[in-house]
Amino acid sequence: MAGSLNKVLLIGRLGADPEIKQMVNGKSVARLSLATSQSWKDKNTGEKKEKTEWHRIVVFNEGLVNVIQQYLKKGAQIYVEGQLTTRKWKDEQSGQDKYSTEIVLQGYNTTLTMLGGGGSGGGIQNDTTQQNNIEDSSQVSNDMDDEIPF
């Protein structure tokens, strides 16, 4: 359908260590539980309130899965860009159809960036427009420009 977009952008903290599993085809998949919170002050009582939403993140990109396995732990703050997907499955105990809605990071135009904490932030992207912390080459010192023979 022309003119449609399925893109999810979230910043939150991991509620548990990432879960890495092997698929039937031998590739790895990472499952993350991401919490996003909003807080406000109740107008009537003045007390601070908070609401937390939990999001299931599924990462199929092999490179991202390896980085997730090495560097992400419970409590890590991350930024993700992916697509919203709902999948249907059958509950083995009840035999009823169940549905799970997840944010999927697969293919191009998906992003996972580690945020916060002691310089540990750095971009991990699977995007043709790499926006990682690449230094702008135009800022490199031009002291030797006169000596370059080409």
- Number of structural domains (the chain) is 1
Do the domain assignments include residue 145? no
User: Has residue 135 been placed in a domain?
Assistant: no
Report if residue 120 sits inside a domain. Answer: yes
Q: Is residue 34 part of a domain?
A: yes
- Residue 137 covered by a domain: no
- How do residues 17-73 score in pLDDT, each as one tens digit? 999 999 999 999 999 999 999 999 999 999 999 999 999 999 999 889 999 999 999
Note the pTM of the prediction, 2 decimals: 0.71
Q: Is residue 139 part of a domain?
A: no
112 lies in a domain?
yes
Query: What CATH number does residue 29 fall under?
Result: 2.40.50.140
> Where in the sequence is the domain holding 115, given as residue range(s)?
8-126
For residues 127 and 111, the answer to whether their CB atoms sit within 8 Å is: yes
